[in-house]
Amino acid sequence: MFGLLRSLFRLLLVFTLVFWLFRWLGRMLSRTSSPPKLARAGSLEGQTWQGRVTRVIDGDTVWAEFGNGPLRLRFAHIDAPEHGQPFGEEAAAWLEEAIGADRAITVHPYELDFYGRVVAEVYHGDSRLNYWIVRHGLAWALPGDGDRNIAQAQIEAQAAQEFIWSERYPNPPWIYRMANQQTEG
């Protein structure tokens, strides 16, 4: 009798663990929206998409609505300060203002990143937002990325000591993220 109760208890424990595991996985998967078929098929380079920004997440990431549904876009060649980092809120506010009331954007995608975001050049009218947010001193040009125009925009922003470059030792977002992962984990 005692052996039967122990077996039933173990079975109940296994079912409970499996239940919570699937529940946790479901929550994790629902946090990252999978891009529509439009972004899954092959290389994205050479395409041009028209859409509307629905939400600015931070200085280098937005949600945008396209014909096939919403996509999370990550601006190529740059890294903007995180929320909680100096000038993180300013970068998001600048991007919100630059997009304007009509929220219309043109996107030249490159690839999907590890998080399922479409890495892209993003334009509002003729304005290349990837370039201008760096030029205004609200994002870093990614080191070794190879986009000379964005690298030059950073040099000009540094010379003008705008926003992040007004600090003596600005902390790049990639260093900030690594430091926060170590303290959180």
Could you report the per-residue pLDDT of 18-48, keeping only the tens digit for each? 555 555 555 554 443 334 444 454 578 899 9
- DSSP three-state, residue 67: coil
166 in any annotated domain: yes
More confident residue, 81 or 24: 81
pLDDT tens column, 125-163: 999 999 999 999 999 999 988 899 999 999 999 999 999
Distance CA 90, CA 174 (A): 18
**Is 11 among the domain residues?**
no
- Would you say residue 19 lies in a domain? no
28 lies in a domain? no
Q: How many separate domains does the chain show?
A: 1
pTM of the model: 0.75
Residue 9 domain-assigned (yes or no): no
Q: First and final CA of the chain: distance in angstroms?
A: 45
- The residue annotated as part of the active site, out of 72, 74, 128, 135, is 74
User: For residue 35, what pLDDT is reported?
Assistant: 41
Residue 66 dihedral angles phi and psi, to the nearest 5° = -125, 175
Active site residue 167: no
Structural domain that includes position 133: 44-184
Q: What is the CATH number of the domain that holds 145?
A: 2.40.50.90
pLDDT tens digits along 162-185 = 999 999 999 999 999 999 885 543
Per the annotation, the verdict on 74 as an active-site residue is yes
**What CA–CA distance (Å, rounded) separates 7 from 28?**
32
Q: What is the pLDDT of residue 184?
A: 45
| DSSP track, 44-62 | -TT--EEEEEEEEEETTEE
Q: How many helices (H) and strands (E) does the chain have?
A: 6, 8
Given the residues 52, 89, 117, 121, select the one marked as catalytic: 117
Residue 62 belongs to some domain of the structure: yes
Instruction: Verify whether residue 55 is a known catalytic residue.
Output: no
Does a structural domain hold residue 39?
no
Q: Which of 82, 121, 128, 135 is catalytic?
A: 82
DSSP, res 185: -
Helical H runs in 2-147?
Answer: 2-31, 37-40, 88-99, 129-135
> Quick check: is 115 in a domain?
yes
Q: What average pLDDT score do residues 1-17 get?
A: 66
* Closest to 110 (Cα-Cα) out of 35, 48, 153: 48
Q: Are 124 and 134 in contact (CB under 8 A)?
A: no
Query: What local confidence, expressed as pLDDT, does residue 43 receive?
Result: 73
The one-letter amino acid at 101: A
